[in-house]
Amino acid sequence: MNRLCMLAVTTALALLPQMATAAEKTLTVGVSDALSGGGAVYGEPQRRAINLAIEQINAGGGVHVGEDTYKLKTIEYDDKADPTEATNVARKLIDRDGVKFLMGYCCSASTGAVASIIGREDVIMLVGTAGARAITAAGNDNVFRTRPPGDYSGAAAGRFIASKGVKRLGVLATRDVALFTQYRDALIEAFEAEGGEVVALETFGGQDRDMSAQLTKLRGLEPDGYFISGYVEQVAFAYRQAYELGITAPRYGFSGGSAEQFLSVASSEALEGVWDLIAIEFNADALGDTAKAYAKAYEERWDAYPTPNSAFAYDQVYVLRDALEAAGTVELDDVKKALRNLAVPEETVLEYLPVDGKMFDPKGQAYISNGAFQFHNDKWDFVTKLPSDSAAYSAYFQTITK
């Protein structure tokens, strides 16, 4: 009997560490995003959305990978939307922290810099809001992005502006962010293909907040519509200054900022009637119940309403969870394979348009619908979806590398 007891105790003691190990397995995710500076309006909401999704997944029992269950945790760094800083952060996460999964990445220039070196690294990079085409067009097999490239939305926007009866368009756009220049070029091409004329293309730089001179010049050319694109803070200043200059023609834009972000710069009167033509990022009216539940959870957790771009990052976490569970291992090659064959996870907020039934196309690019939103009574109203053909764009996307 004593020997039996001893055997039972010994067996129990031998099993304990294994049980403890299984219960305590943690998978660390590296988050690199703009948490200060101009890009923070996109980066900080992404960081919050990632943490929200992780808390939800952990509260729901974690990620079931084969026999193991993992709890997720993050290591977070501020890349300031700066290419050098973002590259340093990536090196720190990979070399010092030993992280295998990177996510966040709101801004094109910084993300592009990391994407250019990441193909040589044993990691998987999940990109959020950064929309420069080359990030996924380069074809690294370890880069996956939830946001579609800028030109995918730009062409749809150009056709939409022409369909509203605009014949002469004045364009004011940021000149040094690939997402916006690619969107702008695709918009101009589509608009001109519909018979429209661009009266002038004016630009502004990354730190500019005074576009009065450019708007005055455009006003003098008397266009019957304006297109303004760039980061939300700059675009909001442009709308404010357009209002001060007495510009009343329809104003179309591409920035993806929340109503609160716009109103912190420009008055209701200056923004009334402005259009935002974007891939349908988070919008509770346009996306329905899942989006409403996300907004509620985000608001409860962070005491702030989610910004439109934040859902790109929220969805990244569920993408990673499903890929890990489908792979049944945390080995990178298996997870990459699982990502390539992944169906759209149930919990994702955005409305993805799968290509051949898969969330990501062969270059790791996902697509969502495009939509037209109009500012009315201090909020963005969803007006209509813009015709978007993800399969056709993806076929074209496979032929380019930048």
Q: Which residues bind other proteins (CB under 8 A)?
A: 35-38, 40, 44, 175, 202-205, 207, 209-210, 212-214, 216-217, 219-220, 233, 237, 243-246, 264-265, 267
Query: Could you tell me the smallest distance in angstroms from the CB atom of residue 125 to other proteins?
Result: 24
The smaller minimum CB distance to other proteins, of residues 151 and 202, is found at 202
Query: Could you tell me the smallest distance in angstroms from the CB atom of residue 49 to other proteins?
Result: 18
Query: Could you tell me the smallest distance in angstroms from the CB atom of residue 81 to other proteins?
Result: 10
Query: Could you tell me the smallest distance in angstroms from the CB atom of residue 238 to other proteins?
Result: 12
Q: What are phi and psi of 70, to 5 degrees?
A: -110, 140
The smaller minimum CB distance to other proteins, of residues 219 and 379, is found at 219
Q: Which of 280, 286, 294 is nearest to 346 (CA)?
A: 294
* DSSP of 340-357: HTPPPPTT--S-B--BTT
The smaller minimum CB distance to other proteins, of residues 77 and 393, is found at 77
Give yes or no for a contact between 312 and 104, defined as CB atoms under 8 angstroms apart: no
Which residues have a Cβ under 8 Å from the Cβ of 239 and sit 6 or more positions away? 228, 251, 253, 262, 266, 270, 271, 274
Quote the tokens at residue 153: 């939305």
Q: Quick one: how far is CA 214 from the chain centroid? A: 29
* DSSP of 289-339: HHHHHHHHHHHHHHSSPPPTTHHHHHHHHHHHHHHHHHHTS--HHHHHHHH
Separation of alpha carbons 202 and 236, rounded Å: 16
The smaller minimum CB distance to other proteins, of residues 101 and 243, is found at 243
The smaller minimum CB distance to other proteins, of residues 220 and 273, is found at 220
Give me Rg for the CA atoms of the chain: 23
DSSP letter assigned to residue 303: S
Query: Could you tell me the smallest distance in angstroms from the CB atom of residue 227 to other proteins?
Result: 15
The smaller minimum CB distance to other proteins, of residues 18 and 207, is found at 207
CA distances from 375 to 179, 212, 251, 269 (A): 23, 22, 11, 10
Query: Could you tell me the smallest distance in angstroms from the CB atom of residue 142 to other proteins?
Result: 30
Query: Could you tell me the smallest distance in angstroms from the CB atom of residue 194 to other proteins?
Result: 26
Query: Could you tell me the smallest distance in angstroms from the CB atom of residue 210 to other proteins?
Result: 6
Give yes or no for a contact between 249 and 242, defined as CB atoms under 8 angstroms apart: no
The smaller minimum CB distance to other proteins, of residues 66 and 205, is found at 205
DSSP letter assigned to residue 95: I
What SS3 class is residue 75? Answer: strand
The smaller minimum CB distance to other proteins, of residues 191 and 243, is found at 243
Which residues have a Cβ under 8 Å from the Cβ of 248 and sit 6 or more positions away? none
